[in-house]
Amino acid sequence: MKRTLVISDIHGEIELFERLLTDVNYDSSHDQLILLGDYVDRGANSRKVLEKVIELKSKGALVLKGNHEDMMIKALTTDEERYWKNWINRNGGRTTLESYGFTESEFVVPEDEEFNKPKLHSETLDWHLEFIQNLDHFIELEEYIFVHAGVHPNQPIKETAPYTLMWIREEFYSAYSGQKTIVFGHTPTKHLHGTHSIFFGKNRIIGIDGGAVFGGQLNCLELPSLEVYSVKSDK
């Protein structure tokens, strides 16, 4: 492999994702693509993004699970009201379900009614759900660790709960002092250094979530060169 290309937090933005892959001249026979999670929610085309991710994985891409996949799994595979409403009402789950052809009348439970989890039937959704349930939480190489949110600064990664790897924020990026460089998404880089560009921290952390779904940009980090590619949102 000549290059490693890392992308995170696509959030249903299929056009930006495909443009970025074109801009970097991605070639699965020469490049190692690593995707750090959050393929779904908020953006309009989560279904198409997952279809693309599945295709890319079949050609050799390494694909991790993000916290939005975690929320989607919990909402769709349990009967817990809090998981359902948290995903649908607060975290963009409704746009994900709409991308599979469902309407609000099929999945929104009125606040004044007793909660009964909506029954949704879609072979494609079931297939995609099975796919994301089986994704890994981190990739560790000689010099790098790739993870969705970050690592616990005081725990070996192999002993760290998957929840932490998908959800941690400030405790990680303010206190990490390990020898390997951590490449992560989850926390928009604008919160780390005020812009949507890739964040290169002094403590060997590299944040790549450019907040594409919030009007920012979708970033790609090339390794080992540290070259940066990005496509800007038109929102």
Domain with 55 in it: what CATH number?
A: 3.60.21.10
Cβ 212 vs Cβ 218: under 8 Å: yes
- Which conformational region is residue 110 in: left (phi greater than 0), alpha (psi within -120 to 50 degrees), or beta? beta
Q: How sure is the predictor about 1, in pLDDT bands with cuts at 50, 70 and 90?
A: low
Residue 110 confidence (pLDDT) = 84
**Residue whose C-alpha is closest to residue 211's, from 228, 194, 224:** 194
The model's confidence at residue 81, banded by pLDDT at 50, 70 and 90, is very high
CB under 8 A, 24+ apart: contacts of 200-205: 200/226, 201/173, 203/173, 203/176, 203/177, 204/176, 204/178, 204/179, 204/180, 205/150, 205/172, 205/173, 205/176, 205/181
| C-alpha distance across the termini of the chain, in Å | 35
Count structural domains, the chain: 1
Is residue 151 a part of any domain in this protein? yes
Angle, nearest 10°, between helix axes 14-23 and 46-58? 40
Cis check for the bond before 224: say yes or no (omega within 30 of 0). Answer: yes
Q: Confirm whether 157 is domain-assigned.
A: yes
Band (pLDDT 50/70/90 cuts) for residue 51 is: very high
In Å, the largest CA–CA distance within the chain is: 57
Does residue 196 have a pLDDT over 90? yes
Q: How sure is the predictor about 11, in pLDDT bands with cuts at 50, 70 and 90?
A: very high
Q: At 227, which helix (H) or strand (E)? A: strand 227-232
Q: Does residue 126 fall inside a structural domain?
A: no
Confidence category of residue 10, pLDDT binned at 50, 70, 90: very high
Residue 110 lies in a domain: no
What is the arithmetic mean of pLDDT over 57-80? 97
Residue 9 has pLDDT above 80, yes or no: yes
pTM of the model: 0.96
Q: Determine, yes or no, domain membership for 106.
A: no
What does pLDDT average to over the chain? 96
Range of the domain at 54: 3-68+132-232
Q: How many CB atoms lie within 10 A of CB 10?
A: 29
Q: What is the pLDDT of residues 166-184, one digit of tens each?
A: 999 999 999 999 999 999 9
Rounded CA gap, 219 and 2, in Å? Answer: 19
Residue 88 in any domain: the answer is no
DSSP code of 198? P
Query: Does residue 115 fall inside a structural domain?
Result: no
Alpha-helical (H) ranges within the chain are 14-23, 46-58, 67-77, 81-85, 93-99, 104-107, 123-133, 162-167, 170-175, 189-193
Residue 77 in domain = no
